[in-house]
Structure 1
C-alpha cells in the first residue's frame, strides 16, 4: 500500500505521451481508473480481483474522458488495456508491477480506443460547402 502514491504518479507521468495524439483525457482517465481499480481489486480479491478491478476502472475512466461519440471504443480499449496490463505487470513485478501495468495499459488502451473511434466518423474532415445555384429573375 505504501507504493500506491508513487505508482499513481508514475502512471500519470507516463500517460502524458498520449496527450500529443489529442487523446489525452481518455488516456489519463483510463490510466487513473485502471490503477485505482487495480489497487481496490487487490484489497478485495487478490490478483484476480486486481485484474477485474483494473478492467472495470480502466473502462469507466476512459469512457468518462473520451469524446461523446467515442465512449464505447475508449471504454473497450481502456478496460482491456488495464486488465491485460495488470496481468502482465503482476507476472513481472508483483502487486506494484500490477498497478503500474494497469495504469499504463489503461492509458494506452483508452487513447487507442478513442483514436480509433475518430476514424469511423464521417464528419471529422474539413468544412463542407454547399454549392447553391442563384437564379436571377428579370
Structure 2
C-alpha cells in the first residue's frame, strides 16, 4: 500500500511538470497508450507481454499526441518510457505497479521526446548562411 501511494504521488508530481512544459498531448497519449498496452500485454503474455504491449502502446499514443514534426522523437520516448516503466513497476508492485509504471513512463518519455524534438528544431535554424559575393572586375 505504501508503494502504491508513493508511485501515485510521484506520478502526480511528474504529470504536473509535464503539463507545465507544454508537452501535455504527447504525454497524455504516451501515458494512456502505455497503460492500456500494458494491460492487454499482461493478458496475452504475462510480464514480458506487458512490457512489449506497453512499449507499443506508449509509442503509438505519444506519436498521436505529438505535433507533426515531433512524432518520431515522441514515439521513441513514449515507447521506451512505457516499456521501462512497466518492467520497473512490475518489480516494485506487481501487475498494478507495472500498469502504473507504464503509464508514468510513457507520459514522461513522450513529453521528453517531444521536447527534445522542439529543441532540435529551434537550435538548427540559428546558423548563418554565407552568400557568394560577386566581385566587380575593373577593366
Q: Same fold (TM over 0.5)?
A: yes
Corresponding residue for residue 33 of structure 2: 33
Partners of 1:32 and 1:65 in 2: CA distance: 11
In 2 relative to 1, CA 29–50 (structure 1 residues): closer, same or farther, beyond 3 Å?
same
User: What does residue range 93-112 of structure 1 map to in structure 2 within 5 Å?
Assistant: 93-112=93-112
| Superposed displacement of residue 78, structure 1 | 0.1
- Where does structure 2 lack aligned partners over 5 or more consecutive residues? 1-7, 126-139
**3-state DSSP of counterpart to 1:22:** coil
Corresponding residue for residue 129 of structure 1: none
| Superposed displacement of residue 124, structure 1 | 9.3
TM-score when normalising by structure 2: 0.78
Q: Name the larger-Rg structure.
A: 2
Contact 1:118 1:124 in 2 (8 A): no
Partners of 2:69 and 2:16 in 1: CA distance: 22
Partners of 1:65 and 1:16 in 2: CA distance: 17
What RMSD in Å do the two structures reach over aligned CA positions?
1.9
TM-score when normalising by structure 1: 0.78
Partners of 1:123 and 1:98 in 2: CA distance: 37
User: What does residue range 34-49 of structure 1 map to in structure 2 within 5 Å?
Assistant: 34-49=34-49
Instruction: State the aligned residue count.
Output: 115
Partners of 1:92 and 1:28 in 2: CA distance: 23
User: What does residue range 18-97 of structure 1 map to in structure 2 within 5 Å?
Assistant: 18-97=18-97
**3-state DSSP of counterpart to 1:121:** helix
